[in-house]
Every structure is written in C-alpha cells, then in structure tokens.
C-alpha cells in the first residue's frame, strides 16, 4: 500500500458510498500521460503516444470495496443508443451491482458531426440523491471536479459527513479542494483505478464502454 492509499484509508470514516459523474471522470483521465513504466508487457512494443489511460470499473469497484464499510457505487451516465454502451451499462448494473442513474443526452441546435454539442448534466441529481440519502453514509467519495458541487460539499460537511473528491490536475475547479474534507489526484491511484490501452479513433460518445471482463 503506497502513501496515497494509506492516507485515503486513514481519512475514510464509517459507511462509504461512491458517486461517479461518468463523463467528468472519463474526460479527466483520457489525456493523462502514459509513462513507460506504466505500460503492461503486452503493449511495450508500441510507442507511448499511441497508448492512453481509461477507467477500469472492475478494479475501481474492488479497490473501494476493500477499503472499508463499502455501501456501493452510484453511477451517473448519459444513455447512448449503441450496442457497446448498452453492454457497458448492463455490465455495471448486473456485473458490478452499480446503481445506475441515466438520462437521454441532449443535442443542441449547433450540433454537427464534426463539432458535437451534446450534454447530460447530473449536478442536480447528484446533489438531490446525496442529500436525501445522508442517513445511509458517513463518507461520500465524489468523482468530479465540477465547481457546482462546492455548495453541496459544504452542506454535507456541515452535516458531519466526510466528503472526499477525486479528479485530475487541470480538471478540478479551484473551489473544490479547499471545500472538500480531502482531495486526491486520480493519477496517484492509476494502478488501482485505471488501465492502459491502445488509443482508439475519436468516438462521438464522450466516453467508451470500458472493460467488461
């Protein structure tokens, strides 16, 4: 266990829930630099600039399950009408027992194939769900760097909840780390939460289907 894992384990209190803003999380890791010593043996023959990080939700689930009194994951994601995303959601729901909260993605009038303008914001859902379920957790782990969560974090902490944020440098609003009980950079947990793979062609979906094995 490295120093970051030890600190996380030390600051978690009581019952733990994990809330994931899927699009925010995926955007925050897709441009992370892949260091040569992070490349798995089966990909070492490839240039590092052809590789990328992505979230391994099976590893993420196991990591937090082993840290404490784990109550589960709430996963907020847009619905995409593709076979890959249907399978991805099925894997999270049935395979990992995530609680999925979904909504159709909204396309704006200036949307084009080459310049998509799509959105499915879950700030309100995350705020309402965490507020109304406060009796069910002592520590909330939030995967998002959105500045709109500043007010929610202060409210939860005012009600004696520990609120831990995970995001990436350059993807977290400056208001969040001071508001949080504790803030962690995902890069320091990359071997616990992420995986290295070959960079794919740009997809119209903001995040891919992830691992399903």
Dump pLDDT digits (tens) for 165-179.
999 988 999 999 999
- Give the model's pLDDT for residue 210: 46
Q: Where are the domains of the chain?
A: 15-198
- Give the model's pLDDT for residue 40: 94
Closest CA to 23 of 116, 131, 162, 96: 116
Residue 202: pLDDT band (50, 70, 90) is low
Q: What is the residue-averaged pLDDT of the chain? A: 89
SS3 assignment, position 55? strand
Residue 112: pLDDT band (50, 70, 90) is low
- Give the model's pLDDT for residue 73: 97
Range with the poorest average pLDDT among 3-7, 94-98, 107-111? 107-111
- Give the model's pLDDT for residue 82: 82
Residue 110: pLDDT band (50, 70, 90) is low
- Does the pTM of the predicted model rise above 0.85? yes
With a cut of 80, say whether residue 104 has pLDDT above it. Answer: yes
With a cut of 50, say whether residue 213 has pLDDT above it. Answer: no
* Residue 33, phi then psi, degrees to nearest 5: -70, 135
- Give the model's pLDDT for residue 80: 82
Average pLDDT of the segment spanning 176-185: 96
According to CATH, what is the number of the domain 15-198? 3.40.50.1010
Residue 105: pLDDT band (50, 70, 90) is confident
Residue 58: pLDDT band (50, 70, 90) is very high
Give burial (CB, 10 Å; 0-12/13-18/19+) of 172. buried
How far, in Å, CA of 140 to CA of 17, rounded?
A: 5
């Amino acid at each position: 266990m490295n120093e970051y894992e030890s600190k996380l384990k030390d600051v978690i209190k009581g019952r733990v829930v994990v809330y994931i803003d899927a699009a925010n999380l995926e955007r925050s890791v897709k441009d992370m630099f892949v260091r040569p010593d992070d490349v798995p043996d089966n990909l070492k023959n490839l240039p590092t600039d052809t590789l990328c990080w992505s979230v391994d939700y099976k590893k993420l689930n196991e990591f937090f399950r082993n840290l404490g009194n784990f109550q589960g994951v709430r996963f907020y994601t847009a619905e995409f009408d593709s076979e890959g995303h249907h399978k991805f959601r099925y894997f999270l729901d049935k395979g990992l027992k995530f609680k999925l909260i979904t909504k159709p993605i909204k396309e704006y009038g200036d949307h084009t194939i080459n310049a998509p303008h799509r959105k499915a914001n879950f700030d309100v859902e995350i705020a309402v769900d965490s507020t109304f379920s406060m009796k069910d957790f002592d520590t909330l782990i939030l995967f998002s760097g959105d500045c709109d969560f500043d007010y929610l974090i202060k409210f939860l902490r005012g009600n004696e909840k520990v609120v831990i944020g995970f995001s990436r440098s350059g993807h977290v609003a400056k208001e969040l780390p001071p508001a949080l009980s504790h803030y962690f950079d995902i890069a320091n947990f990359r071997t616990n939460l992420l995986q290295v793979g070959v960079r794919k062609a740009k997809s119209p979906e903001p995040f891919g289907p992830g691992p399903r094995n």
